[in-house]
Amino acid sequence: MSAVLSATIFLQRESFIYVLYIIAFALFIQGLRGLAGPTSAVRGNRTAAVGMAIAVVATLLNREEGNWGLIALGIAIGIAVGVPAARQVKMTAMPQMVALFNGVGGGAVALISWVEFRNYGNSYAQGKLVVNPHSLHVFPGPGGIVGRAGLLPAVALHSIGPPTYVAIFSVFAAIVGSISFWGSNIAFGKLQEILPGRPITLGAAQQAVNLVLLVLALAAGVDLVAGAHSQLLFIGMLVCAALLGNAVVLPIGGADMPVVISMLNAFTGLSAAATGVALNNPALIVAGMIVGASGSILTNLMAVAMNRSIPAIVAGGFGGTGAVEGASGAGEHAGTVRSTTAADAAIQLAYANRVVIVPGYGMAVAQAQHAVRELTKELEARGVEVSYAIHPVAGRMPGHMNVLLAEADVPYDQLKEMDDANPEFPRTDVALVIGANDVTNPAAKNTPSSPIYGMPILEVSDSASVIVIKRSMNPGFAGIENELYYEPKTTMLFGDAKTAVSEIAAELSQL
Ligand code: NAP
């Protein structure tokens, strides 16, 4: 036997492939640990990416994987589209990017399930079929499940259909993957402003329509698992799930989009894990469950942060409408707005004992984080105690502010989560709000008709005075006016966040 042949046999041994998978899992988990903090996040991401590369190589080593031309073409297209897109995307457009990548994952899962169904001769029924030897399913053997199709004697391939649980997982993956693909596309369209951010709804009929679509998709799935021989039924199931994905996300307003993206992310993870069970691919099961579990935890955290209930999200009935269009802006409020200058703001800050910086989306747009860090250093050099109050949905993606401030080397212990920051405002001299709007809006507490009513906010008006840096009186993401700007203790410093913060720092250095 030649050395090359021996090496090939060794590399394709099931036990070797499983060892590679275990190494990949260890790297996934290590990577996830790294993602727990901004300082280790980049390393964590790279670690998990190496794990995924190993898992892909291990899967390709399997001797059933034969269509190398198609695989190479797929990888080439993926690299050509994905790498430039990921490199060029602006930080503020990251949520759309996540929605798009997430949708692609869900779509891939749905397509794989469809291909598998076709491989089984258009039925999942046990014992009724001639099985395609290229199919990747597991098969029941004398000692239980004995392995992948390619490892079994050929005779087994032609006499036994897939176990019922494989059919159930495949159908689950097809439905959830399809919902995730279409829902993510709608989320992308809303965030990219291709679609209106306001809720698009069928009114009172919405929930009934959602329910009918869900029941139809499930009924088709049950029929397929029971052995229905119909390509059309499978396509019908995918179409119902696709309509459901659209019907769930369209009625959700822009302000609630973060919860939706995270929920769809969890859906994609769970559908990928289900495909992993159906394909007997442990890497897919583990990676899918990690995404499903972390996505579910994140969804829950975000829902709590925005005071939304997850069942209401799934039913397409958010408490708030998240209106964006037709929002009230400058001039509609009866109160008076006091504007200030960089020089006055510098004096106010210089004589404060305690300053809390509240960053928001505007800081990200202006890329003001480095200027903010410089301002902090100036203040600290004068003995002012400075911290940052971070709202969980400030910016446009989870952890947006943490990532930006970590990039500017802001010490992590200066960042205070909302629950720790709020009790500190009453003993704060100046709250410096930099490009944050909705996350400071008292309407969330005081105005039941407001789309953000019930969302916990950073209670900046508890501090002795508030300086807000933004360019105009225009509203933020939720499209609503902010009462904070009319409070007597608030002054507005109008301008681009980076320029304004740099000007304050320059004034401070001359005091
Ligand atoms: P926001 O309510 O969107 O307000 C940002 C403010 O920044 C705007 O009012 C804008 O006012 C100002 N701004 C924009 N560019 C600026 C610049 N160059 N310099 C200075 N100011 C600038 O932001 P937020 O308070 O951070 O709240 C986040 C909102 O986004 C919430 O409604 C949240 O639900 C939503 N959201 C969050 C996520 C997430 O995961 N974190 C995802 C999607 C949506 P001017 O135009 O007057 O300057």
pTM of the model: 0.74
Point out the ligand 1 atom lying closest to the alpha carbon of residue 477.
3
Sheet containing 490-494: give its strands across. 415-417, 385-390, 354-359, 430-434, 465-470, 490-494
Q: What pLDDT is stored for residue 495 in this prediction?
A: 96
Catalytic site includes residue 438? yes
**Distance (Å, whole) CA 122 – CA 140:** 20
Asked whether 497 and 367 are in contact (CB, 8 A), the reply is: no
Q: What pLDDT is stored for residue 255 in this prediction?
A: 64
DSSP code of 118? H
**Distance (Å, whole) CA 74 – CA 67:** 11
The average pLDDT across 9-18 equals 82
Q: What pLDDT is stored for residue 132 in this prediction?
A: 44
pLDDT, tens digit (0-9, with 9 covering 90-100), for 420-455: 999 999 999 999 999 999 999 999 999 888 878 888
Q: Does position 263 have pLDDT exceeding 60, yes or no? A: yes
Q: Is 199 in the pocket of ligand 1 (CB under 6 A)?
A: no
pLDDT, tens digit (0-9, with 9 covering 90-100), for 160-208: 567 888 899 999 999 999 999 999 999 999 888 888 877 788 888 888 9
Provide φ and ψ at 490, rounded to 5°.
-95, 135
- Top pLDDT among 4 and 330 is at 4
The one catalytic residue among 223, 438, 462, 496: 438
Q: Is 497 in the pocket of ligand 1 (CB under 6 A)?
A: yes
Asked whether 176 and 240 are in contact (CB, 8 A), the reply is: no
**Distance (Å, whole) CA 378 – CA 374:** 6
**Distance (Å, whole) CA 402 – CA 85:** 23
User: Which residue among 393, 418, 433, 434 has the greatest number of ligand 1 atoms within 8 angstroms of its CB, and so is best to mutate?
Assistant: 393
Task: Tell the burial category of 189 from Cβ atoms under 10 Å away from its Cβ (0-12, 13-18, 19+).
Answer: middle
pLDDT, tens digit (0-9, with 9 covering 90-100), for 381-415: 999 999 999 998 898 777 889 888 988 989 988 99
Q: Is 493 in the pocket of ligand 1 (CB under 6 A)?
A: no
pLDDT, tens digit (0-9, with 9 covering 90-100), for 197-251: 777 888 888 889 999 999 999 999 999 999 888 899 999 999 999 999 999 999 8
Q: Is 95 in the pocket of ligand 1 (CB under 6 A)?
A: yes
Q: Return the beta strands (E) in 95-149 as ranges.
A: 138-141, 144-148
**Distance (Å, whole) CA 146 – CA 194:** 50
Q: Which helix (H) or strand (E) holds 315?
A: none
Residue holding tokens 């005071």?
307
**Residue 128: CB atoms within 10 Å:** 13
Q: Comparing C-alpha atoms, which of 355, 353, 359 is closest to residue 372?
A: 359
